[in-house]
Amino acid sequence: MTATLIWIVVGLVLIGLYLSWTAGRLDRLHARIDAARAALDAQLVRRASVTQELATSGVLDPAASIVLYEAAHAARQAEEEQREVAESELSAALRAVFSETVQIEAVREVPGGEDATLELAQAVRRVPMARRFHNDAVRAARALRRHRTVRWFRLAGHAPFPLAFEMDDEAPVALADRPGT
């Protein structure tokens, strides 16, 4: 009788340890999502800021400046529900303006233009990486939250179900091919 009781207690302790470990893992994944989202937001804001600076510098032709400024401004001011669309529109505007190297060369020829194009190229390149890190963390948390034990024991608590950040982040060809980025 006492051996059976000991085995039951050992089993319950092991189950409790497993549930505690799983809950801790889920908590770490949610923290990783929060950190990755903050990094993604920082890169999106940086890209929009660099784009706005370039658009207001007077280096680009007026039509290109207006297109870039309005897209960057809309991306910075977008509400959370519209953020993915606004950021995709900024990517499309960047591709439209910098579809050919002629526009990049024109920017590079003015004083400070080399630094501006380098900064824009870096900002454009970092957004897909930050988005990939965020979406990988979301994917891992979703996979863990789908397990029966997590659902049955409600180990996720009241944490919202994590959502991936889906946007068009394709870089303009002329910026993507920049050496030194």
Whole-number pLDDT of residue 173: 85
99-130 tens-digit pLDDT? 888 888 888 888 888 888 999 999 999 999 99
As to burial, measured by CB atoms within 10 angstroms (0-12 exposed, 13-18 middle, 19+ buried), residue 160 is exposed
Q: Virtual CA dihedral for 129, 47, 177, 180, nearest 10 degrees?
A: -90
Is residue 75 within 8 Å of 44, Cβ to Cβ?
Answer: yes
Instruction: Tell me which residue range forms the domain holding 97.
Output: 23-176
Instruction: Name the residue with higher pLDDT: 130 or 61.
Output: 130
* Residue 5 located in a structural domain: no
CB contact set of 29 (below 8 Å; sequence gap of 6+): 137, 140, 141, 144
Q: Does residue 161 have a pLDDT over 60?
A: yes
SS3 of residue 146 by DSSP: coil
Residue 177 pLDDT more than 70? no
Segment 83-112 shows an average pLDDT of 91
Would you tell me how many other CB atoms lie within 10 Å of the CB of residue 15? 12
Q: Would you say residue 2 lies in a domain?
A: no
Task: Please indicate, yes or no, if residue 8 is contained in any of the structural domains.
Answer: no
Domain count, the chain: 1
- The Cβ-side half-sphere exposure at 154, using a 13 Å CA radius, reads 3
Residue 15 lies in a domain: no
Residue 169 covered by a domain: yes
Specify if 111 maps to a domain: yes
pLDDT at 181: 46
Strands, E assignment, the chain: none
Give mean pLDDT, residues 47-63: 92
Let me know if residue 10 belongs to a domain: no
Name 47's Cβ contacts closer than 8 Å, sequence gap at least 6. Answer: 75, 90, 120, 123, 124, 126, 127
Domain assignment present for residue 139? The answer is yes
